[in-house]
A = this chain, B = another copy of it.
Amino acid sequence: MRASDRMTQLPSSNGGSLPDALARTRSAIQPAMEHAVRRMNPDIARMASYHLGWTDTDGRPLDAPGGKLVRPALALLSAAAAWAEPEIGVPGGVAVELVHNYSLIHDDIIDGDTERHHRPTVWSVFGIGPAIIAGDALAVAAQQVLLECEAHGSAAAELLADATAAMIAGQADDIAFERQSTVSVDDCVAMCAAKTGALLGAAASIGAVLAGAPPATIGALRDYGGHLGLAFQAVDDLLGIWGNPARTGKPAGNDLRRRKKSLPVVAALAAGGDESDELRALVVGTPGAPVLDEAQVTRAAYLVEACGGREWARTRAKSHLDGALGALERVRLSPVPHRTLADLAAFVVDRES
């Protein structure tokens, strides 16, 4: 069977299942995350706790800690896949999660987003200046967590710094693309590989680095994570246009409304022809152009699909799922975490939110 067909398999239930791995991740990661946040200046810790969904705006604890912890789960699984105890990956999981959240806090300022997961964003509650500082604090805390590891912490810190640098370069390209009338499909894919793929590649290999795994194992896991990131982004972009608002928590067609040059849109614009031209006239605006109205969003979604953008992104998601699963076959990994990593990749492509 083609590797991507596995995406329809259910997670196994023999202790290596995806729900088990995510639950195990939370119990291992949460105390370490809280330790990292408690070390911060109280004003910063309050913003970090709020952003992470632990507390409300007044610092009162919330019932259920938020976040899917996909990146920490990858870090723990990568240690286990490299035949080590998953807990070896905990500092890596914490560090990657801190970098991920630092990028979200700064991205929300950059994009002017006032809500994330139905909650006001950090900058909209605490102000832009404090939110910049909060992001900066999370970024440096990530480095500290790794550099304090006795074994292989320096190699893990270098892996994460390189991934963070790539992520930042991708963010810069993303900003630049929004101001350009034309973006090539290749440039858009390269931007996603940098913005999303690099950090997921680090997440999926940092546990193996901390376990002192051989370079081939680390490389295979990083490639798995990179493909996972691109599959994730393609699915994210599909959900941004055709996602069910009840599941995604965002209005239908949200990305089109905001004229976002997401992968399906860029592919549709590159297709050429009358419908492609109509799409360009509809969604490509100068910076500061007004959002699209409902009728325009509906028409734009039709045009993206008519120009093949929807099918292109679906094919892309599946081929990166294949790439991710193929990377896992390149080296001999511990079988149970190997299967869970495969399940996780399928879950990412199959998700509806």
- Inter-subunit contact A161/B176 (CB<8 Å): no
The reply to whether A172 and B44 contact each other, CB–CB distance below 8 Å, is yes
A153 proximity list for chain B (CB < 8 A)? 154
Residues of chain A in range 122-164 having any CB-CB distance to chain B below 8 Å: 128-130, 132-133, 135-137, 139-141, 143-144, 147-148, 153-154, 157-158, 161-162, 164
Partner of A43, one of B129, B140, B164, B176: B176
A106 in contact with B130 (CB, 8 Å): no
Cβ contact within 8 Å between B140 and A161:
yes
Do residues A132 and B133 form an inter-chain contact, with CB atoms below 8 A?
Answer: no
Contact yes or no, A140 B168, CB < 8 A: yes
A175 — which chain B residues lie within 8 A by C-beta?
43, 129-130, 133
Q: Which residue of B lies closest to A143 (CB)?
A: B161
Most chain-B Cβ atoms within 10 A of its Cβ — which of A136, A141, A173? A136
Specify which chain B residues have a CB less than 8 angstroms from the CB of A23 in the assembled complex.
none
- CA of A76 to CA of B133 in the docked complex: distance in angstroms? 29
Q: Which residues of B have CB within 8 Å of A173?
A: 41, 43
Closest to A136 in B: B168
| Cβ B137 vs Cβ A109 within 8 A | no
A40 part of interface (Cβ distance < 8 Å): yes
Say how many copies of this protein the assembly contains: 2
Contact-residue bracket for chain A? 35 or more
Cβ distance A158 to chain B, nearest Cβ, rounded Å: 4
Cβ contact within 8 Å between B168 and A133? yes
How many whole Å from A196's CB to the nearest CB in chain B? 16
- In the assembled complex, A216 has its CB within 8 A of some CB on chain B: no
> Shortest distance in angstroms between A181's beta carbon and chain B's nearest beta carbon?
17
Is B161 a contact of A144 with CB atoms below 8 Å? yes
Q: Which residues of B contact A137 (CB under 8 A)?
A: 165, 168-169, 172
Shortest C-beta distance, A53 to chain B (Å), equals 21
> Is A171 located at the chain interface by the 8 A CB criterion?
yes
Q: Is the CB of B158 within 8 A of A141?
A: no
* Complex: A144 Cα to B157 Cα, angstroms: 9
Most chain B beta carbons < 10 A, residue from A43, A162, A172, A173: A172
CB A193 to nearest CB in B, in angstroms, measures 13
- Cβ-defined contact, B169 with A41, below 8 A: yes
Interface residue ranges, A against B (CB under 8 Å): 40-41, 43-44, 106, 109-111, 128-130, 132-133, 135-137, 139-141, 143-144, 147-148, 153-154, 157-158, 161-162, 164-165, 168-169, 171-173, 175-176
Q: A41-B168, A133-B172, A140-B161 are in contact. List 8 more A-B contacts (CB 8 A).
A: A43-B173, A110-B132, A130-B175, A139-B139, A139-B140, A143-B157, A144-B161, A147-B161
